[in-house]
Homo-oligomer: A and B are copies of this chain.
């Protein structure tokens, strides 16, 4: 998805929120903000919003001198997710359709997103999980994905946020068939996106081979990804991608991708005729 005019003030708002999340030093906050605004003034709107996110968070990491400013919060969110996963696991096992229920928890887990500060509080997270079995989703698409997984010979699962990864693990555990799964994360930290270290803490190595995409961009910016990752992306029979930044960056991809996300942004909602708050299971092609 291209960048809309509405994204520009939102980038600046997000960068201010992000800098404040990381430091109380008003000078650092101000310096980051001014650099971000200068970058935004020159941003090419044909680029995708997560590419601007990449620039913003590089600036914030540079200005704060911290290569992984969300580390503490990422670890806390993995802890919280592991705690919540006990109940989710019970509910999945007890469900009539454990695959669909696990998929629902995987989308519920997409609430653990620090790019949208207002979504990150315990109440909202618990609310997202409480409604996991009841929130409307496209059950036909869910069934289609299940049947495709059953017959597949290889699967690439592209993760999104730390914490959320725990629920991706529960979902992968319910995959029918016996296709090997690769779980892709970021090469290095950006916001609270999962890296290999984060995925390991969530136990993804128990259900998949963890790989990284060679970048520090939110979502999956294919033109930046490593050859190894692109080999998996184009070589796997099924690709599943989680979260809104993957949705934005992969809807234009030149292969089929199953996209699972919560819709958190009004601009994306309007562009694709969704509503903010929708839980999406779709394909790009």
Interface of A toward B, CB cutoff 8 Å:
5-6, 8-10, 12-13, 16, 29-30, 33-34, 37-38, 40-41, 45
Contacts and interface: CB of A to CB of B under 8 A. Distances in A.
17 contacts: A5-B16, A5-B33, A6-B16, A8-B12, A8-B16, A9-B9, A9-B10, A9-B13, A12-B12, A12-B37, A13-B13, A30-B45, A34-B41, A37-B37, A37-B40, A38-B38, A41-B41
Nearest to A20: B5
A49 to B, nearest CB: 15
Which of A9, A13, A30 gathers most chain B CB within 10 Å? A9
Nearest to A35: B41
A251 to B, nearest CB: 22
- Assembly of this chain: how many copies? 2
Contacts of A29: 5
Contacts of A40: 37
A213 to B, nearest CB: 30
Q: Which 5 A/B pairs are nearest by Cβ-Cβ distance?
A: A37-B41, A9-B13, A9-B12, A38-B41, A9-B9
Contacts of A5: 16, 29-30, 33
Contacts of A6: 16
A33 B9 CA distance: 10
B8 A37 contact: yes
Nearest to A11: B9
A38 B30 CA distance: 16
A29 B9 CA distance: 14
A266 to B, nearest CB: 12
Contacts of A13: 9, 13
A252 B161 CA distance: 47
Nearest to A6: B16
A12 B30 CA distance: 16
B8 A33 contact: yes
A34 B33 CA distance: 16
A12 B33 CA distance: 13
A38 B12 CA distance: 13
Contact of A9 (B16, B30, B38): B16
A45 B9 CA distance: 18
Nearest to A19: B5
Contacts of A16: 5-6, 8-9
Nearest to A32: B5
A267 to B, nearest CB: 12
Contacts of A9: 9-10, 12-13, 16
A213 B12 CA distance: 34
A266 B41 CA distance: 25
Contacts of A45: 30
